[in-house]
Amino acid sequence: MSKKQTAPKKPKLVSSTPRPAREEAEAAIRTLLAWVGENPEREGLRDTPRRVIKAFDEYCAGYNMNAGDILAKTFSETGGYDGAVLVKHIEFESRCEHHLAPFLGKAHISYIPSGKIVGLSKIARLVDMYARRLQTQERLTSEITNALQKHLKPKGIAVMLEAEHFCMKVRGVHKDHAVTVTTRFTGEYQKDDDLREEFFAQVRG
Ligand code: ZN
């Protein structure tokens, strides 16, 4: 009898195992403090585990939100507007999933509506939601694009992220000025070179 070959299981992005208690998470930070050679009981560090976990609540607040809620309200009164809607220089702060180090940058997002527009601040909220998770810049770019595609179904989307990664600045290769740029295009932006050129010109302009 031949053994059936099974494809390797693709791990889910979000764990289904129960979350540890806050005290357990704080204890893990105390362990880390001892690991680096510190005394977690000294005055300056006594409260650090609590503060670090609280900070992580903020860094990772995006796990408690979903794109459907953010993009639920759309408007159809566009007055016949059929051009691109570009929101550029949306600052974001995220954390790389490989080192938990921050990466900071700007997102430039454009979409060509097909009868549906969304509040401009919602686009910034969408960026924040995905940024406040453990990320790679590549996946962050894709997740923003996919959410806009799913909920707005526009004629085209252009997403560009530019970011500086602290795991490259303060450790490893120590490149302080390296900027990583990622882009994703769908629909008309994928087909039309001129539209893409216009996007780049507007982002740079
Ligand atoms: Zn990293």
Q: Which residue among the candidates 26, 96, 143, 188 is catalytic per the annotation?
A: 96
pLDDT tops 60 at residue 133: yes
Number of neighbouring beta carbons within 10 Å of residue 185: 19
Q: How far is the CA of 53 from the centre of ligand 1 (A)?
A: 20
- DSSP helix/strand/coil, 109: strand
pTM of the model: 0.92
pLDDT tops 70 at residue 160: yes
Residue in the block written with tokens 């362990």:
31
Alpha helices in 48-136 (DSSP H): 48-59, 67-70, 120-131
User: In 3D, which of 118, 26, 22 has the Cα closest to residue 76?
Assistant: 118
User: In 3D, which of 164, 130, 135, 162 has the Cα closest to residue 146?
Assistant: 130
Q: Which residue among the candidates 38, 93, 167, 190 is catalytic per the annotation?
A: 167
How does pLDDT run across 74-96, given as a tens digit for each residue?
Answer: 999 988 898 999 999 999 999 99
**Does residue 167 have an active-site annotation?**
yes
How does pLDDT run across 86-127, given as a tens digit for each residue?
Answer: 999 999 999 999 999 999 999 999 999 998 999 999 999 999
**Does residue 151 have an active-site annotation?**
no
User: In 3D, which of 67, 68, 130 has the Cα closest to residue 97?
Assistant: 130
Q: Which residue among the candidates 137, 143, 188, 198 is catalytic per the annotation?
A: 137
Q: How far is the CA of 97 from the centre of ligand 1 (A)?
A: 6
